[in-house]
């Protein structure tokens, strides 16, 4: 019994399968870019913009959940000092600021 394998496997030969696989991986890459990479870059740019616009007196929340008011900004060391209450001031990395809090 001599079987004609390409006919039994849907009529595709080995040369056509490679091009289809390449197109398939291309589509998967484009989908991954649109769903994962692009939104992450957008979020990162928004965070950098937020950090650049910080000024003394802004009410912020850190990534750890600490609320405070910016008392001072040290651009050279990329740190901020947050005033938590009248007697407490804490120093944080500027990048740990998660968001501004509306007054």
What span, in angstroms and rounded, lies between the C-alpha atoms of 12 and 76? 63
| For residues 53-60, average pLDDT | 95
The DSSP element (H or E) to which 61 belongs, if any, is: strand 59-62
| For residues 78-93, average pLDDT | 96
* Whether the Cβ atoms of residue 50 and residue 99 lie closer than 8 Å to each other: yes
Q: What pLDDT, on the 0 to 100 scale, is given for residue 30? A: 92
- If one compares 102 and 80, the residue with the highest pLDDT of the two is 80
Q: State how far the alpha carbon of 52 is from the alpha carbons of 57, 99, 100, 101, in Å.
A: 14, 12, 12, 16
Max CA pair span of the chain: 92
| For residues 21-36, average pLDDT | 92
What mean pLDDT, rounded, does the chain reach? 87
CB atoms within 10 A of CB 62: 18
In the chain, where the domains are located: 13-49, 55-100
Q: What pLDDT, on the 0 to 100 scale, is given for residue 18? A: 83
Write down the CATH number for the domain with range 55-100.
2.30.30.140
Q: What pLDDT, on the 0 to 100 scale, is given for residue 102? A: 86
């Amino acid at each position: 019994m001599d079987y004609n394998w390409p006919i039994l496997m849907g009529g595709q030969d080995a040369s056509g399968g490679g091009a289809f696989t390449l197109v398939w991986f291309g589509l998967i890459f484009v989908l991954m870019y649109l769903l994962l990479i692009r939104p992450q870059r957008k979020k990162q740019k928004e965070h950098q913009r937020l950090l650049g616009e910080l000024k003394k007196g802004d009410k912020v929340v850190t990534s750890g959940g600490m609320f405070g008011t910016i008392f001072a900004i040290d651009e050279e060391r990329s740190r901020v000092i947050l005033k938590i209450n009248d007697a407490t001031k804490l120093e944080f990395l500027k990048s740990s600021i998660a968001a501004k809090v509306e007054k």
